[in-house]
Amino acid sequence: MGDDGDPDLLAILSDDAIVQAIEDWAKDHPDEFLDVVGDGFDADQQLAVAARSVGVVKVDLRNGKLIARVNFNVTYKSPVDSEDRELSAENVTDCRLDVVLEDPFVERIGINGFTLAPEGIFPT
């Protein structure tokens, strides 16, 4: 993704439309959505158990795919200690991940509004 993304595309689609599309897809595909977030977030001691998209930083359109840098609010578990990995504490943090919205379908609503419905969401 370019350093600045495509500000005109973000202005047309709007932060809210992209976030809503991600959340709608996540609602219908919760396990796949968590896999996408986990691919960018999970580390040895931090495993995502829930996530919510909260804002879009920038977007680009390449080869029919919408690539978005998105801020997520992630709930994750961390083991209490290395000897008892079954016990864990839940924490919440914010992170920024790049995702690909596959085959996005854009529909115009009203004069300046658009909705977005991707076929899938994948990590970059």
Q: What is the pLDDT along the chain (124 residues), one digit of tens a residue?
A: 556 678 888 888 888 889 999 999 999 999 999 999 999 999 878 889 999 999 999 999 888 889 999 999 999 987 666 666 565 677 899 999 999 998 888 777 776 667 788 888 888 8
In a domain, 73, yes or no: yes
91 dihedral zone (left: phi>0; alpha: psi -120 to 50; beta): beta
Please give the residue range of the domain that contains residue 81. 7-123
In a domain, 67, yes or no: yes
In a domain, 14, yes or no: yes
* pLDDT at residue number 70: 96
Amino acid identity, position 67: I
Question: Which residues make Cβ contacts (< 8 Å) with residue 94, sequence separation at least 6?
Answer: 54, 71, 72, 73, 74
Give strand pairing partners of 120.
Answer: 102
Q: Are strands 65-81 and 113-117 parallel, antiparallel or unpaired?
A: unpaired
In a domain, 23, yes or no: yes
Q: What length does the chain have?
A: 124
In a domain, 96, yes or no: yes
Domain count, the chain: 1
Angstrom distance (rounded) from CA 103 to CA 62 = 11
* pLDDT at residue number 76: 92
Q: What is the rounded radius of gyration, in angstroms, for the C-alpha atoms of the chain?
A: 16
In a domain, 2, yes or no: no
Q: What is the pTM of this model?
A: 0.83
Closest CA to 64 of 115, 5, 104: 104
In a domain, 1, yes or no: no
* pLDDT at residue number 94: 96
In a domain, 83, yes or no: yes
